[in-house]
Amino acid sequence: MREASRGTGVGGSDLRGKTAIVTGGGSGIGAALTRALVAGGADVTCADIDLAAAELVAAALAGGRGGVRAVHLDVTDAAAVKDLVDDVVARSGRLDLMFNNAGITWGGPTEMLSLDQWNAIIDVNIRGVVHGVAAAYPVMIGQRSGHIVNTASMAGLVAAGLITSYVMTKHAVVGMSLALRTEAAGHGVNVTAVCPSAVETPILDKGSVGGFVGRRYYLASQGSTKAYDADRLAQDTLAAIAANRPLLVVPRRSRISWRMQRLAPGLTNRLAAQFIARQRAELRPEG
């Protein structure tokens, strides 16, 4: 317990000797995390379902302070995730950091989502995280050390429609992370959920149904014209790991929204309903 409360000591610039896995490492937040970890001296496995993208990230970091390799990984395949964790442990003798970061989104009227789309987001955003935890957590228990970092979202703390399936999955990630943290502390293992507002990544422009425009929605929801920088989020994440924080909520205006949600849930629900009404009116007709 005492060891976990002090944090892992992996923050700042010195990550030499640390071993990390980053899922969804081929782009966006995952690529930024890989860059930050390698710059700090960590030995990083950059895993992505798009191997070519992961290889580009790894190639750009060749000769950096830390080591990096690219591997193909489908996080919906539990056996593949376990095999990767086992391989890293066989190579390095340990696993210090597990970043369950891979994710997808759907945006648009909920009634337009197919069951296949519901299942896809559950498989990646929930089961993908579960598979990472199931593979890495027992290893870390055996080590009596390690840190699991799950990429959630402000959508896991404050709910709004038109991204209902995404909100559901990110609430699940936050809840699982906080619950596991209370259990993991007794084993010397730490858990953090990362909850940013809109981050400048390809996901802002993906997963649209029914004329939904993701970038416009996400920026409007946080009252901003610019998304948060992914590399800045990666540095924030390393600092949160070093401080052993249960949640990382950024930027500052997002922390204000989160506090409002906790203090005045009725008011925030009414404001969200008004926001969704405006967004629904702006849906672009398809066809």
We report the CATH number of the domain holding residue 97 as 3.40.50.720
> Of 214, 230, 210, 232, whose CA–CA distance to 222 is shortest?
214
In percent, how much of the chain has pLDDT > 90?
85
Catalytic position from the list 137, 166, 218, 228: 166
Within-domain flag for 32:
yes
- Distance from C-alpha of 100 to C-alpha of 111, rounded to nearest angstrom: 29
Within-domain flag for 287:
no
Q: Each residue of 243-286: pLDDT tens digit?
A: 999 999 999 888 888 898 899 999 999 999 998 999 999 886 66
**Residues 46, 69 contacting (CB under 8 angstroms):** yes
Within-domain flag for 253:
yes
Within-domain flag for 286:
no
Q: What total number of domains does the chain contain?
A: 1
List, in order, residues 6 or more apart from 265 with CB less than 8 Å away: none
* Cα dihedral sign, 88-92-94-98: negative
List, in order, residues 6 or more apart from 111 with CB less than 8 Å away: none
Provide the residue range defining the domain that includes 106: 2-281
Within-domain flag for 200:
yes
Q: How many CA atoms lie within 13 A of 259 on its CB side?
A: 6
Q: Each residue of 150-167: pLDDT tens digit?
A: 999 999 999 999 999 999
Q: Are strands 19-23 and 67-72 parallel, antiparallel or unpaired?
A: unpaired
Q: Each residue of 179-201: pLDDT tens digit?
A: 999 999 999 999 999 999 999 99
Residue 8 has pLDDT above 90, yes or no: no
What's the whole-number mean pLDDT along residues 83-99?
A: 98
- Distance from C-alpha of 148 to C-alpha of 178, rounded to nearest angstrom: 11
- Distance from C-alpha of 47 to C-alpha of 262, rounded to nearest angstrom: 36
- Distance from C-alpha of 156 to C-alpha of 111, rounded to nearest angstrom: 21
**Residues 133, 146 contacting (CB under 8 angstroms):** no
CA distances from 67 to 59, 75, 82, 142, 244 (A): 11, 22, 21, 24, 24
Q: Each residue of 29-54: pLDDT tens digit?
A: 999 999 999 999 999 999 999 999 99
Within-domain flag for 259:
yes
**Residues 257, 272 contacting (CB under 8 angstroms):** no
- Distance from C-alpha of 43 to C-alpha of 87, rounded to nearest angstrom: 13
pTM: 0.92
> Of 199, 246, 184, 41, whose CA–CA distance to 105 is shortest?
199
Q: Is 228 a catalytic residue?
A: no
